[in-house]
Chain A
Amino acid sequence: MSFRAFLSRDLNRAFRAGGGWFYGLFFFALFSTAAGLVFGPAPTDLRASAPAVIWLGAAMALLMGASDVFAKDADSGFILILFAESESAARYLAAKAAFVLIVLVAPITLSAIPIAVMFSLPLIVAMTVAALLGAGLVGVGAVALFSAALSAGLRVGGLLPVSLATPIAAPLLIFGSLATKTIVEGGSVFAPETLLVLALACVNSAILPPFILWALRAGVD
């Protein structure tokens, strides 16, 4: 089994018409713009709302954007073949994780810079906020993959898997938003909440893969 083969196939598929890779990014831009309009034009109000809007919008965009990352392979029977013919699906999962990082996490993180500027944050602060968001989204990405595996493996569709996964991502959202608030208010970049975000991202990425594989395998039974 080849990591590169899986990744290039998925990228190839995603960038075709109807691949839908940009839906998550589109949601993030739309949600942030709508939130900015709701909070009004006052820079103080926009700055105060920025941490929650950016983290909530980015996390939901990622969870929804990645929700069908296993669905096509489950529908076509490819996952069944994968488990029949391979001792381990770890490379397949690693390729899916890389796919989510390239197609969703990276664009959402980069788009957080202009969105943060739109929320009246100075450019250097916006870039710091985006960097922290990117680190946190790695952990949210692991949750998104788990949610997608539940959806494909246990054949439950719609918003239910995203709703089930959101509580798992909640600590990252809470501490990510708090750490961003500290940065926006001029506090230390290495505040305890920032370190917690990094730790949670690492823990999610380390703990969730076996559960993701279990959920995919359960769909074959």
Chain B
Amino acid sequence: MEPFPVKYGLHASGLAGQRGGAPVYEGATFDLEPGDALQVRGPNGAGKSTLLMNLAGLVPPSDGRSSWRVENQETAETPREAISFMAHRSALEPALTVREHVSFWCAHYRNPNLIENQSAWIQAVNLNGYDDTPAGRLSAGQQRRLDLIRLMIADRPIWILDEPTAFVDAAGARHVEQQIERQKQRGGLTIVATHDRLDIDSPELTIG
């Protein structure tokens, strides 16, 4: 298991976010070092997804500040090329098969070494036998598992995950936890918004 060559930390102070002009969360403060994970918890509508969007630099926070730390230098710039973002929707194309998704992601993330290991990726998330099944015909949980392969192929040090275990069964949730632990051991950073408390060694931030 190779550590990431570049590791990132993240500091957030008094972050607040709004959606559609209405405030949804406030006072989010935390400090994460390389190898850390943070579970963001809260009821529906608490602003968990908004916080992730703020941290990913997709939407500016309404208050507070966050800064990334790389090689002991602080920057307000979001290191986009180091981020893997999993939205609450699985970004899949219903007409393309599982294997075609894997193939596309290998090319998209310029990871040609992995193309030969397509079957291994598919087996890793327990989708063996579904190689030629269009994503649109998979169950919601299976689609979530397929989206998880994207993170593994992208092989990036920062994971920002929105409900990665939604619709996923117990075995799938355990697999997500294992992948986050692996990410931590490699010095990667994980911020995960979740309703289900994940069995990982990480602090929790409750908002809303």
Contact = CB atoms under 8 A, between A and B. Distances in A.
A6 B108 contact: yes
Interface residues of B, number: 26
A84 B107 contact: no
Given A81-B85, A84-B56, A221-B58, A18 B108 contact: no
Contacts of B95: 13, 16, 18-19
Contacts of B91: 76-78, 80-81
Contacts of B110: 1-2
B104 A220 contact: no
Nearest to A82: B91
Interface string B76-96: 000011011101111111011
Contacts of B154: 85
A12 B96 contact: yes
B93 A72 contact: yes
B87 A85 contact: no
A86 B58 CA distance: 11
Given A9-B93, A76-B92, A78-B91, A83 B104 contact: no
A78 B105 CA distance: 12
Contacts of B80: 84-87
B58 A80 contact: yes
B78 to A, nearest CB: 9
Contacts of B84: 85
B87 A77 contact: yes
A9 B105 CA distance: 10
Contacts of B57: 84
Interface in A1-32: 1-2, 4-6, 8-9, 12-13, 16, 18-19
A2 B110 CA distance: 7
Contacts of B59: 220-221
B118 to A, nearest CB: 14
Contacts of B92: 76
A81 B31 CA distance: 24
B192 interface: no
A220 B58 contact: yes
Interface centre among A18, A80, A84 (most CB of B within 10 A): A84
B33 interface: no
Contacts of A85: 80-81, 83-85, 154, 156
B104 A9 contact: yes
A148 B93 CA distance: 18
A2 B108 contact: yes
Interface string A119-136: 000000000000000000
Interface in B2-39: none
B155 interface: no
5 closest Cβ pairs, A-B complex = A5-B107, A84-B85, A77-B89, A78-B91, A77-B87
Given A8-B107, A12-B96, A81-B91, 20 more contacts: A2-B107, A2-B110, A5-B108, A6-B108, A9-B93, A9-B96, A9-B104, A12-B100, A18-B95, A19-B95, A76-B89, A77-B87, A77-B91, A80-B91, A83-B58, A84-B83, A84-B85, A84-B160, A85-B81, A85-B156
